[in-house]
Amino acid sequence: MASASSSKLGQPTRRIDGRLKVTGAAKYAAEYPAENLLHGYVVVSTIAVGRIVSIDTRDARTVPGVLEIITHNSYPGMSWWDRDWQDETAPPGHPFRPLHSDRILFDGQPIALVVAESFEAARDAAALVHVLYEVGEPNTDLRAASDAAYVPKQKRQGIQPPPKPRGDAEAAFAAAAMKVEAEYTQPSEHHNPIELFATTCVYDDGKLTIYDKTQGSQNSQAYVCGVFDLKPENVRVLNPFVGGAFGSGLRPRYQLFLAVMASLKLKRSVRVEVSRREMFYLSYRPITEQTVALGADPSGKLHSIQHDAVQGTSRFEDYQETVVNWSGLAYQADNTALTYELAQLDTDTPGDMRAPGAATGVFALETAMDELAVTTGVDPVELRKLNYTYRDEDNDKDFTSKALHACYREGAERFGWSERNPEPGSMRDGHQRIGYGMAGGFWEAQVVPAEATVRLNADGTAEIKAAATDIGTGTYTALALVAADELGLSVEAIDVEIGDSDLPTNSVQGGSRMAASAGTAVLLACRAIKERLLKQAQKTKGNMFAQAALEDTIFENGSIALKGDPGQSVALTELMSDGKAIEEGGKASPDKKVAQNYLGYTHSAVFVEVRVDDDLGMVRVVRVVSAIAAGRIMNPKAARSQILGGVVMGIGMALHEEGFFDHRTGRIMNHNLAEYHVPANADIEDIEVIFVDEKDDLINPMGVKGLGEIGIVGVAAAVGNAIYHATGKRLRDLPFTIDKIIA
Ligand code: MOS
């Protein structure tokens, strides 16, 4: 069929920005040139709690090229109000104000900015800044702090508190024939995208052009305007390319503040780039303790689910994520009780990291489900099918679509799950024990307000503009595909301009919602253009299109045609022979009626094979099959990459990643890539991604759901479950390192 073959959405498409990236032409925040550029280097605290008694900058000032050293003693005036410092995704509390006072709240806190004519001079001088502290007593140990855990008074925007209990979970648990109850713990995980946080602030007579590593240019712009009391027309923030962010760039980071502060003070352009070490202090997945209790009958049918979580936060903000709510809607159960608490630690405020909350909560739930499978003797996949839910019982809503059954079926088949001998330790290959494990994954499919303009030029090319962000997720290509698909143009004919606060309003790129939200805005803009083109066609080609509505037409190969009669067509360039471009705006917003009655979710089933060395306890993840239900897939090539990345990060969570705090000093001990391990190529073997068919007419006009986060969810549990199957040893404390396996 003509319409199917011409559809651009769903075709594996190379990144349209790929050439720029591989040739180095794509610039990142620290790469933008500026005349007479100054360089800032951050001095950070070497204690976790206390106060600065004195900062001696005399030696540092002798370094040639040093212009200025800014500390809390020379802090220029800033807004007093918390709200001016709060950003789009800020948790409730008092946002951190760099260099604001002599108080130290966490290890690695910025305490001075050295500004010099060269990066090297600034760095040398920073080493000569002498600080005298009064050292306080830190607590960075969640176990010690959790006695004082509390339910957050104010909820973080966009984060749902746990739902009300259903039935009587405690009584149902007590009465259950089959019980599983266990504690699950995980350490801090630290953000390590390739691009470091950096800001180049170009100063031009009071006007600032700011290149910032961020997941939202307009979020950074609003922050700078709030903190420094500047007018938006004098502050433009650009982030056309972002070298990975994974949630770390959802909030403005201190280098943005420091670069702008120095720039305004010195009336010069200033760049501040943090080092890899500082990345470890900036934002991290929170330290978490959870308990899950499942009660079932002998067949494995769940009757009671209890899930409690405590997470570490800072002393000044109540960071929150959705950790336990998944347990209320993952499976059918008449009795549930879910609780969520925070405990204050002397650390920086934790932050969002890929699938925040779900990566954590689903790890506990899906490990507990595997334990229930062992207890009941029911196959893990069958156990999940037995407890399948078609509704979100907590909110009494249907899912807009849920093809999780297909994930179980297709994933198991491709993986060869039926060859699994359920007996732990029964499968081996020489001195390697083989383990097969699986888990389910859950994530929201959000749509948030987003705007875009599309301009169709008379020569048949089109331009998209939106203050959207591409953090490596493929936004450029996704938006081009939407416009190409709607307008019937080739992808090459579409120019995409994003990553600029001057462009139409968009939120931060997070929550796996950019493609669905900005994509819908582009779609709506294209539809408005098509309406105008159809009117034009009716005017000039009256006979052919007189009775036609937009639904009766097809736009393809640069022409408009009647659906029933594709032979009858007119070239768009002919309709635009007056040479005038057609520009329209599109505004996406969540459908209120749909939101009232439905829940938009993505689902997955992850299957993992591990090999565990008998003598060395070394674990290798040799095979992963990730089956994903995420609605219509816009670009299978980019979509597959998203899931591959999620699985790799999940393997890091399962086997490698762990921030070590020395609780005596409250300091992070492994703030480098030698001692904080992330998966390298040698750690990764076969990963296969399946997208199951899932048609969704409700979630948004395109039927697409986000893919940035679902890929990581469930992976750590699946790896742990596979280790159990290989060894008979149940691990509940992430990461699953060798010491825990041979212990
Ligand atoms: Mo994501 S953790 O919402 O960038």
In this structure, are 511 and 452 located in the same domain?
yes
Q: Which letter does DSSP use for residue 11 in this model?
A: S
pLDDT digits (tens, 9 = 90+) for 350-369: 999 999 999 999 999 999 99
pLDDT at 437: 98
pLDDT digits (tens, 9 = 90+) for 698-715: 999 999 999 999 999 999
State the distance from the centre of ligand 1 to the C-alpha of 509, rounded, in angstroms. 7
pLDDT for residue 319 is more than 60: yes
Which of these three, 261, 282, 303, is where a domain ends?
Answer: 282
Cis peptide before 286 (omega within 30 of 0): no
pLDDT at 542: 67
Total domain count, the chain:
3
State the distance from the centre of ligand 1 to the C-alpha of 245, rounded, in angstroms. 8
Considering the domain boundaries, does residue 648 fall inside one? Answer: yes
pLDDT at 1: 34
Atom of ligand 1 nearest to the CA of 709: 1
Q: How confident is the model at residue 5 (pLDDT cuts 50, 70, 90)?
A: very low
In this structure, are 303 and 161 located in the same domain?
yes
Q: What is the mean pLDDT of residues 373-396?
A: 97
In this structure, are 603 and 574 located in the same domain?
no
Q: What is the mean pLDDT of residues 215-222?
A: 98
In this structure, are 429 and 456 located in the same domain?
no
Atom of ligand 1 nearest to the CA of 512: 3
Q: Is 561 helix (H, G, I), strand (E, B) or coil?
A: strand
- Of 250, 471, 642, the residue with max ligand 1 atoms within 8 A of its CB, to mutate for a pocket test, comes to 250
CA–CA dist 656, 613 (Å, integer): 17
What's the CATH number where 534 sits?
A: 3.30.365.10
pLDDT at 504: 98
Atom of ligand 1 nearest to the CA of 250: 4
Q: How confident is the model at residue 547 (pLDDT cuts 50, 70, 90)?
A: confident
Q: Catalytic site residue 657?
A: no
pLDDT at 242: 98
In this structure, are 469 and 537 located in the same domain?
yes
Write a three-state SS string for 45-65: CCCCCEEEEEEECHHHHCCCC
Considering the domain boundaries, does residue 54 fall inside one? Answer: yes
In this structure, are 264 and 345 located in the same domain?
no
pLDDT for residue 474 is more than 80: yes
pLDDT for residue 540 is more than 90: no
Considering the domain boundaries, does residue 13 fall inside one? Answer: no
State the distance from the centre of ligand 1 to the C-alpha of 588, rounded, in angstroms. 20
In this structure, are 459 and 336 located in the same domain?
no
In this structure, are 384 and 452 located in the same domain?
no
In this structure, are 479 and 627 located in the same domain?
no
Percent of the chain with pLDDT over 90: 95
State the distance from the centre of ligand 1 to the C-alpha of 511, rounded, in angstroms. 5
pLDDT at 92: 97
Closest residue by Cα to residue 189 from 511, 510, 661:
661
pLDDT for residue 3 is more than 60: no
DSSP 451-469: EEEEEE-TTS-EEEE-S--
pLDDT at 498: 98
Closest residue by Cα to residue 496 from 474, 516, 511:
474
pLDDT digits (tens, 9 = 90+) for 46-72: 999 999 999 999 999 999 999 999 999
Closest residue by Cα to residue 384 from 3, 718, 15, 612:
718
In this structure, are 342 and 315 located in the same domain?
yes
pTM tops 0.85, yes or no: yes
Q: How confident is the model at residue 568 (pLDDT cuts 50, 70, 90)?
A: confident
Range of the domain at 71: 32-137+194-245+249-282
Considering the domain boundaries, does residue 398 fall inside one? Answer: yes
Which of these three, 535, 558, 589, is where a domain ends?
Answer: 589
CA–CA dist 632, 690 (Å, integer): 13
The rounded mean pLDDT for the chain is 96
CA–CA dist 207, 219 (Å, integer): 18
In this structure, are 166 and 267 located in the same domain?
no
Q: How far is CA 381 from CA 92, 424, 436, in A?
A: 40, 16, 12
* Pocket (CB within 6 angstroms of ligand 1): 215, 246-247, 250, 352-354, 356, 510-511
CA–CA dist 187, 671 (Å, integer): 14
pLDDT digits (tens, 9 = 90+) for 586-642: 999 999 999 999 999 999 999 999 999 999 999 999 999 999 999 999 999 999 999
To the nearest 10 degrees (0 to 180), the angle between helices 475-487 and 514-540 is 20
Atom of ligand 1 nearest to the CA of 245: 4
pLDDT at 6: 64
pLDDT at 413: 98
pLDDT for residue 2 is more than 80: no
Helix segments in 67-147, DSSP class H: 82-85, 119-126, 142-145
Q: How confident is the model at residue 544 (pLDDT cuts 50, 70, 90)?
A: confident
Considering the domain boundaries, does residue 574 fall inside one? Answer: yes
In this structure, are 601 and 712 located in the same domain?
yes
State the distance from the centre of ligand 1 to the C-alpha of 705, rounded, in angstroms. 15
Considering the domain boundaries, does residue 462 fall inside one? Answer: yes
pLDDT at 375: 98
Atom of ligand 1 nearest to the CA of 708: 1
Contact criterion met (CB below 8 Å) for 624 and 606: yes
pLDDT at 7: 86
Considering the domain boundaries, does residue 12 fall inside one? Answer: no
What's the CATH number where 259 sits?
A: 3.90.1170.50
Q: What is the mean pLDDT of residues 539-543?
A: 76
Write a three-state SS string for 366-387: HHHHHHHHHHHCCCHHHHHHHC
State the distance from the centre of ligand 1 to the C-alpha of 544, rounded, in angstroms. 49
Considering the domain boundaries, does residue 1 fall inside one? Answer: no
Atom 4, ligand 1: which residue's CA is nearest? 247
Atom of ligand 1 nearest to the CA of 510: 3
State the distance from the centre of ligand 1 to the C-alpha of 247, rounded, in angstroms. 4
* CA terminus-to-terminus distance, the chain: 62
Q: Which letter does DSSP use for residue 500 in this model?
A: B
Q: Considering the candidates 410, 584, 609, 709, report the single residue annotated as catalytic.
A: 709
